Structure 1
Amino acid sequence: MPQDWTIEGEYVETCNCDVACQCLWLEPPDDDACTASLAWKIRDGQYGPVDLSGLHVAMLARSEAGVMFDPDVAWQMVLLVDETASSDQQAAIEDIYLGRAGGIFAALADTHVERAEVTTAPISISRADGEIVATAGDIVSMEVVEKPGFNEDVGTVSPHPLAKDMTPKVGKSTTADVSYSDEFAWDVAGNNSYFSEFELANA
Structure 2
Amino acid sequence: MTHVENWWMKGDWFDSCSCDVGCPCEFAERPTDNRCEGFVIYHIKEGAYGDTRIDDLSVMIPGVFYGALWAGECKMTVTMLVDERATPEQRKALGVIFSKDAGGFMAHIFSTIAEITAVDYVPINFEMAEDMSYWKAEAPGYAGAHIEALTGPTTWPGQLVQTTNPTGSEVGAGALATWGKAVMSFVNHAGFIWNNKGQSSKHMPFDLKGPEPVKLNFPEV
| Equivalent residue for 1:174, pick from 166, 183, 191 | 183
Task: Show the counterpart of 1:38.
Answer: 40
Q: CA deviation at 1:67?
A: 0.9
Find 1:6's aligned residue among 5, 8, 24. Answer: 8
Structure 2 counterpart of 1:141, one-letter code: G
The whole-number CA distance in structure 1 between the counterparts of 2:52 and 2:58 is 15
Tell me the amino acid that sits aligned with residue 21 of structure 1.
C
Q: Secondary structure at the match of 1:91?
A: helix
Q: 2:26 aligns with which of 18, 24, 27?
A: 24
RMSD of Structure 2 on Structure 1 (CA): 1.7
What residue in structure 1 maps to residue 217 of structure 2? none
- For 1:140 and 1:45, the matched residues in 2 are separated by 24
C-alpha distance 178-19 of structure 1, shift in aligned 2 (>3 A): same
Gaps of 5+ in 2: 213-221
- Residue pair 2:9, 2:207 contacting (<8 A) in 1 also: yes
Q: TM-score by structure 1 length?
A: 0.92
What whole-Å deviation, never above 9, does each CA across 1:18-50 have from its counterpart, x for those lacking one?
111011222211121110211122111101111
Paired residue for 1:151? Answer: 156
Deviations 1:71-118 (A, max 9, x none): 1301101121100101111111111112222122211222x2110132
User: 5 Å matches for 1:1-203?
Assistant: 1-64=3-66, 66-110=67-111, 112-116=112-116, 117-128=118-129, 130-148=133-151, 150-152=155-157, 153-157=159-163, 158-159=165-166, 160-162=169-171, 165-182=174-191, 184-202=192-210, 203=212
- Report Cα offsets for 1:142-200 as digits up to 9, x if no partner: 00000135323111124124168411100001111000132x11001101101132111
TM-score, reference length from structure 2: 0.85
Distance 1:164 1:68 in 2: 17
User: Are the structure 2 counterparts of residues 194 and 82 from structure 1 closer, same or farther at C-alpha, using a change threshold of 3 Å?
Assistant: same
Alpha-carbon contact 1:163-1:196 (below 8 Å) kept: no
SS in 1 for 2:162: coil
Identical counterparts, % of pairs? 25
Amino acid at match of 1:166: A
**SS in structure 2 opposite 1:24?**
helix
Seen in structure 2, the aligned counterparts of structure 1 residues 23 and 146 have a Cα distance that, compared at 3 Å, is same
5+ residue gaps, structure 1 = none
Distance (whole Å) between structure 2 residues aligned to residue 132 and residue 24 of structure 1: 18
Counterpart code for 1:162 = V
Q: Which runs of 4+ in 1 moved over 6 A?
A: none
